[in-house]
């Protein structure tokens, strides 16, 4: 009976029940009723577990005698209900009375019922809260679909109970906190944190800790001078004390913001329902519950009625709730703080009618804890002269994107958010990774001079874009560009790229409102390929996950996202997304010089599965008579250590390799590419990295196949001589660095580069390798060139 419509109706019913009642007991009654109706059973009951007594108590029912609620209980090793907890799995019995575990409770009047289905109610997917039981008068075999549906209902129920539990805990904690605050005020008074102003005692205004010069990691070269604009830092951009004269208008604004937020969330959930398992959709329900929660909304309303603006009131509610939650011992409840903040962001956006595309009116430097890639792609670039981030590493995707936008960027700046205020005058040095806050006039002057010098230097290098990268002794190197967005093509051509060695297709996906379908992608790739003529282009299939998720894709929380559900793993699990991309690439390749590249390959099985889907796509297009390239060249990225070891086997099944050092380094050296704390360990010139790159290149060369390097290491002028000396002839890099890398290739004989590569491959420490390279670059009179970019 449980068809898709009924299933949806039941789930929606449960959600709406949860939002409409204020007492847990009432909610449980309504939910068991909704389930009994939805599944057409005579009985639906909920037994809750008391973990201390190891007993299950009947807490809500339709069908059994209501008088037995609260009275009937059983030990977990008793009855069919206990069996569900013992096995932690659904128990379905056609004729319960004849089952050896059947236990009869005369007060329930259940002797009339035959079939039994019990499903555990699990909090967080593992901690048992109780058992949901269905019983029927007639003998009925519950289908697998029905059992799945009851499991979904049980998980919704668990979430609802957690929500109510949370609310109760909050109220208690709040009382404790008020008391704690009162005592702290008293203590602070004694510690002289208070000052007398006009006869009144008040808390001294907290001052930002000023650090005039902060150091981080240089992520995109260039200099920026402008005013600070704090982004996404919810707590930094709201004036907490903004008052209103018109609370009625603010309340209306709040209602409208809530309405928009709910509609947005519902639309998002509906879209995601086709793409992700039901269990992952719970997060939308949790956020929806918050947006309907009387307690939460009541707090905001109360603040508005007390004279605060809607934003200030929202801030206060979120701050209070998340502070309370963060102080709790229960890890699960602590995590809920981020849900509140997440919902707060959504609501704030609607209250402010935020338009991230609005251009800046004067030179501006964005300052943020972290900038999501979706945010970065949506941002207006007019007057955006720099980006400063507290988090991130030089090869994190936000940095890569900043480079492709040519916006000077410094990342991994400790204390950034505590040091900069909205509107502060800033100077940012993307070459050495320094940020000056309210700099002295002489620093400003010096930087304006440096910026000019840098611009002249780049102009001189860029003037040589038509020259090929050939060493003085005639060795040809191909310099290609890594691009993320279609707009990068112009930049790549401007800097003289011979083609595109890596098109990170997922970035374009981030700019859509939903996954683009096949025809949208065909149009996208055609727009991209048009200006490139017959230059070679490598399109990498979707590499989403870790730090790159489209905003429309809700993803599971993972403890180690870079070791988790990302890249080819996502694509192989979502053929509904992957196949249209492969079809679109094959179609685009009919008229252009395109090859396809699979990211994050870590086994032959993955490569074969991806190739299998590619063949299916080819067969389909052939059958449908759609123009495509059946002989497209196929490559694997080598960016996981397993692939380095498997290179001899992998090369037999592909046409080329592309070495992705950004990931390869982080996996080889166990140093997160985004974490500034381990930035000094993330070292492209580590001997293990050089050995791995050289090995992969040799495997490819011996098999007569092409090997390209497309990680950011290829953009590092200090690595250029080592890479070409190893034999690599295809370097794909950030367009910005093409002029300097080409200049280095043109200045040094291949013979010299080979000797350099040979020497460093013999060395066992980073220190030795770097020291040696600095010496050699100095001898070759290249050190200035390199330093301009480092
Ligand atoms: C890499 O890992 O080196 C690479 C080129 O891929 P991405 O930076 O997009 O992960
Ligand atoms: Mg990668």
- The per-residue pLDDT for 347 is 86
The minimum-distance atom of ligand 1 relative to the CA of 543 is: 9
Out of 295-304, 392-401, 408-417, pick the least confident: 392-401
- Per-residue pLDDT of 444-454, as tens digits, reads 888 888 888 88
- Per-residue pLDDT of 625-634, as tens digits, reads 999 999 999 9
Written as six digits, the tokens of 706 are 């092409």
Q: Which of 599, 682, 684 maximizes ligand 1 atoms within 8 Å of its Cβ, making it the mutation to test the pocket?
A: 599
The minimum-distance atom of ligand 1 relative to the CA of 599 is: 6
- The per-residue pLDDT for 592 is 95
- Per-residue pLDDT of 480-522, as tens digits, reads 999 988 878 988 998 999 999 999 998 888 767 678 899 999 9
- The per-residue pLDDT for 342 is 74
β-pair type (213-215, 434-437): antiparallel
Q: Which of 482, 570, 639 maximizes ligand 1 atoms within 8 Å of its Cβ, making it the mutation to test the pocket?
A: 639
Ligand 2 centroid – CA 577 distance (Å): 20
Ligand 1 centroid – CA 611 distance (Å): 21
Q: Which of 597, 660, 732, 734 maximizes ligand 1 atoms within 8 Å of its Cβ, making it the mutation to test the pocket?
A: 660
Local structure of 210: helix, strand or coil: coil
Average pLDDT in the 573-587 region? Answer: 95
Ligand (nearest to CA of 482): 1
- The per-residue pLDDT for 166 is 67
CA-based nearest residue to 336, from 263, 369, 287, 371: 287
Out of 176-190, 271-285, 742-756, give the one with best mean pLDDT: 742-756
Average pLDDT in the 659-664 region? Answer: 97
Average pLDDT in the 729-755 region? Answer: 96
The pLDDT of residue 1 is above 60: no
Q: How confident is the model at residue 201 (pLDDT cuts 50, 70, 90)?
A: very low
Sign of CA dihedral 238, 242, 246, 247: positive
Q: How confident is the model at residue 315 (pLDDT cuts 50, 70, 90)?
A: confident
- The per-residue pLDDT for 638 is 98
CA torsion 714-718-722-728 (nearest 10°) is 20
| Burial degree of 226 (CB within 10 A; 0-12, 13-18, 19+) | buried
- The per-residue pLDDT for 23 is 75
Which letter, b or e, does each residue of 299-317 get, where b requires 16 or more Cβ atoms within 10 Å of its Cβ? Answer: bbbebbeeebbbbbbbbbb
Q: Could you give phi then psi for residue 603, rounded to 5 degrees?
A: -155, 165
CA-based nearest residue to 535, from 581, 491, 489: 489
Ligand 1 centroid – CA 728 distance (Å): 18
- The per-residue pLDDT for 21 is 66
Average pLDDT in the 403-425 region? Answer: 88
Ligand (nearest to CA of 674): 1
Distance (Å, whole) CA 728 – CA 725: 7
- The per-residue pLDDT for 531 is 93
- The set of protein residues with a Cβ atom below 6 angstroms from ligand 1 is 502, 504, 543, 639, 660-663, 710-711
The minimum-distance atom of ligand 1 relative to the CA of 504 is: 9
Q: Going by C-beta distance under 8 Å and a sequence separation of 6 or more, which residues neighbour residue 16?
A: none
Ligand (nearest to CA of 400): 1
Name the β-bridge partners of 58.
Answer: 47
- The per-residue pLDDT for 207 is 43
β-pair type (434-437, 425-429): antiparallel
The pLDDT of residue 300 is above 80: yes
> Which residue owns the Cα nearest ligand 1 atom 6?
660
The pLDDT of residue 181 is above 60: no
> Which residue owns the Cα nearest ligand 1 atom 1?
660
Q: How confident is the model at residue 193 (pLDDT cuts 50, 70, 90)?
A: very low
The minimum-distance atom of ligand 1 relative to the CA of 659 is: 3
Higher pLDDT, 511 or 301: 301
Ligand 1 centroid – CA 14 distance (Å): 43
Q: How confident is the model at residue 275 (pLDDT cuts 50, 70, 90)?
A: low
Instruction: Spell out where 594-744 has E strands.
Output: 594-598, 633-638, 656-659, 706-709, 730-733
The minimum-distance atom of ligand 1 relative to the CA of 400 is: 8
Q: Which residues are catalytic?
A: 397, 710
The minimum-distance atom of ligand 1 relative to the CA of 395 is: 8
**DSSP 8-state code for residue 530:** G
The minimum-distance atom of ligand 1 relative to the CA of 658 is: 5
CB atoms within 10 A of CB 665: 27
What is the Cα 150 distance to its own chain's centre?
A: 31
Higher pLDDT, 198 or 150: 150
Ligand 1 centroid – CA 638 distance (Å): 10
Q: How confident is the model at residue 185 (pLDDT cuts 50, 70, 90)?
A: low
- The per-residue pLDDT for 332 is 65
Ligand 2 centroid – CA 298 distance (Å): 46
Distance (Å, whole) CA 446 – CA 545: 42
Q: Could you give phi then psi for residue 58, rounded to 5 degrees?
A: -70, 120
Q: Reduced to 3 DSSP states, what percent helix, strand and coil does the chain have, rounded to the nearest 5?
A: 50, 15, 30
| Burial degree of 620 (CB within 10 A; 0-12, 13-18, 19+) | middle
Ligand (nearest to CA of 396): 1
Average pLDDT in the 570-587 region? Answer: 95
The pLDDT of residue 190 is above 60: no
Ligand 2 centroid – CA 20 distance (Å): 46
Out of 43-52, 343-352, 626-635, pick the least confident: 343-352
Average pLDDT in the 457-479 region? Answer: 88
- The per-residue pLDDT for 297 is 92
- The per-residue pLDDT for 188 is 46
Q: Which of 643, 663, 715 maximizes ligand 1 atoms within 8 Å of its Cβ, making it the mutation to test the pocket?
A: 663
Which letter, b or e, does each residue of 443-477 get, where b requires 16 or more Cβ atoms within 10 Å of its Cβ? Answer: eeeebeeebeebeebbeebeeeeeeebebeeebeb
> Which residue owns the Cα nearest ligand 1 atom 4?
660
Q: How confident is the model at residue 194 (pLDDT cuts 50, 70, 90)?
A: very low
CB atoms within 10 A of CB 428: 29
- Per-residue pLDDT of 230-274, as tens digits, reads 876 554 555 667 788 899 999 999 999 999 889 888 877 776 676
The pLDDT of residue 20 is above 70: no
Ligand (nearest to CA of 401): 1
Average pLDDT in the 12-25 region? Answer: 69
Mean pLDDT, the chain, rounded, equals 85
Distance (Å, whole) CA 160 – CA 713: 49
The pLDDT of residue 3 is above 90: no
The pLDDT of residue 175 is above 60: yes
Distance (Å, whole) CA 684 – CA 686: 6
- The per-residue pLDDT for 211 is 59
Out of 202-211, 242-251, 371-380, 431-440, pick the least confident: 202-211
Higher pLDDT, 177 or 451: 451
> Which residue owns the Cα nearest ligand 1 atom 3?
660
Ligand 1 centroid – CA 658 distance (Å): 10
Q: How far apart are the first and last CA of the chain?
A: 66
Ligand 2 centroid – CA 176 distance (Å): 48
Average pLDDT in the 176-187 region? Answer: 56
> Which residue owns the Cα nearest ligand 1 atom 7?
662
> Which residue owns the Cα nearest ligand 1 atom 9?
504
> Which residue owns the Cα nearest ligand 1 atom 8?
662
The pLDDT of residue 584 is above 90: yes
The pLDDT of residue 472 is above 80: yes
């Amino acid at each position: 009976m449980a068809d898709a419509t009924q299933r949806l109706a039941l789930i929606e019913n449960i959600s709406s029940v949860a939002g409409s009642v204020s007492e847990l007991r009432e909610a449980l009654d309504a939910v068991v009723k909704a389930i009994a109706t939805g599944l057409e059973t005579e009985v639906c009951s909920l037994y809750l577990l008391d973990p201390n007594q190891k007993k299950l108590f009947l807490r809500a029912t339709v069908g059994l005698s209501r008088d037995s609620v609260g009275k009937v209980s059983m030990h977990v090793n008793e009855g069919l209900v206990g069996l569900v907890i013992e096995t932690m799995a659904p128990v379905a019995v056609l004729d319960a009375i004849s089952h050896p575990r059947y236990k009869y409770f005369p007060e329930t009047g259940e002797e009339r019922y035959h079939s039994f289905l019990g499903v555990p109610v699990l909090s967080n997917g593992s901690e048992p809260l109780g058992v949901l039981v269905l019983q029927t008068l007639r003998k009925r075999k519950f289908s697998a679909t029905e059992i799945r549906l009851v499991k979904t209902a049980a998980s919704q129920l668990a979430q609802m109970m957690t929500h109510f539990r949370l609310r109760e805990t909050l109220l208690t904690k709040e009382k404790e906190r008020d008391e704690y605050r009162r005592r702290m005020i008293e203590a602070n008074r004694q510690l002289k944190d208070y000052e007398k102003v006009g006869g009144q005692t008040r808390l001294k205004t907290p001052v930002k800790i000023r650090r005039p010069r902060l150091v981080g990691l240089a992520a995109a070269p260039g200099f920026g001078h402008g005013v600070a604009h704090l982004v996404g830092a919810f707590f930094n951009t709201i004036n907490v004390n903004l008052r209103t004269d018109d609370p009625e208008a603010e309340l209306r604004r709040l209602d409208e913001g809530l309405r928009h937020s709910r509609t947005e969330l519902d639309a998002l959930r509906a879209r995601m329902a086709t793409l992700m398992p039901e269990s992952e959709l719970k997060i939308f329900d949790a956020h929806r519950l918050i947006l309907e929660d009387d307690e939460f909304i009541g707090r905001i309303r109360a603040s508005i009625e007390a004279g605060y603006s809607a934003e200030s009131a929202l801030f206060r509610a979120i701050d209070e709730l998340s502070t309370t939650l963060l102080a709790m011992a229960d890890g699960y409840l602590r995590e809920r703080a981020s849900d509140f903040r997440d919902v707060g962001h959504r609501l704030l956006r609607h209250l402010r009618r935020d338009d991230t595309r609005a251009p800046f009116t004067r030179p501006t430097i964005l300052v943020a804890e972290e900038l999501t890639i979706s945010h970065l792609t949506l941002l207006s670039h007019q007057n955006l002269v720099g980006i400063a981030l507290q988090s991130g590493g030089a090869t994190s995707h936000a940095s890569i994107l900043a480079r492709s936008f040519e916006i000077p960027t410094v990342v991994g700046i400790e204390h950034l958010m505590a040091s900069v205020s909205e509107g502060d005058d800033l100077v940012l040095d993307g070459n050495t990774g320094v940020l000056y806050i309210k700099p002295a006039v002489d620093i400003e002057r010096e930087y304006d001079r440096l910026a000019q010098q840098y611009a002249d230097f780049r102009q001189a290098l860029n003037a040589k874009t038509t020259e090929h990268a050939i060493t003085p002794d005639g060795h040809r190197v191909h310099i290609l560009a890594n691009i993320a967005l279609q707009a990068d093509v112009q930049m790549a051509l401007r800097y003289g790229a011979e083609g595109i060695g890596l098109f990170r297709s997922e970035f374009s996906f981030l700019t859509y409102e939903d996954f683009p379908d096949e025809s949208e992608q065909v149009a996208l790739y055609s727009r991209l390929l048009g200006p490139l003529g017959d230059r070679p282009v490598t399109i990498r299939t979707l590499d989403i996950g870790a730090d790159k998720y489209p905003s429309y894709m809700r993803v599971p929380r993972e403890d180690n996202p870079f070791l988790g559900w990302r890249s080819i793993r996502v694509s192989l699990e979502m053929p509904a997304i992957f196949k249209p991309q492969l079809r679109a690439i094959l179609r685009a390749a009919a008229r252009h010089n395109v090859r396809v590249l699979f990211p994050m390959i870590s086994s032959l099985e993955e490569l074969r599965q991806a190739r299998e889907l590619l063949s299916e796509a080819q067969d389909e297009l052939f059958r449908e008579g759609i123009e495509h390239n059946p002989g497209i060249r196929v490559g694997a990225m080598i960016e996981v250590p397993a692939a380095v070891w498997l290179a001899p086997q992998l090369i037999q099944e592909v046409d080329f390799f592309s070495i992705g050092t950004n990931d390869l380094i982080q996996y080889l050296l166990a140093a997160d590419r985004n974490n500034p704390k381990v930035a000094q360990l993330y070292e492209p010139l580590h001997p293990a990295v050089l050995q791995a790159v050289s090995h992969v290149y040799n495997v490819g060369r011996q098999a007569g196949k092409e090997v390209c390097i497309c990680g950011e290491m290829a953009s590092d002028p200090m690595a250029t001589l080592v890479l070409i000396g190893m034999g690599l002839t295809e370097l794909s890099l950030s367009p910005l660095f093409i002029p300097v890398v080409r200049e280095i290739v043109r200045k040094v004989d291949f013979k010299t580069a080979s000797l350099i590569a040979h020497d460093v491959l013999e060395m066992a420490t980073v220190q030795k390798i770097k020291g040696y390279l600095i010496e050699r670059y100095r001898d070759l009179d290249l050190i200035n060139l390199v330093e301009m970019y480092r």
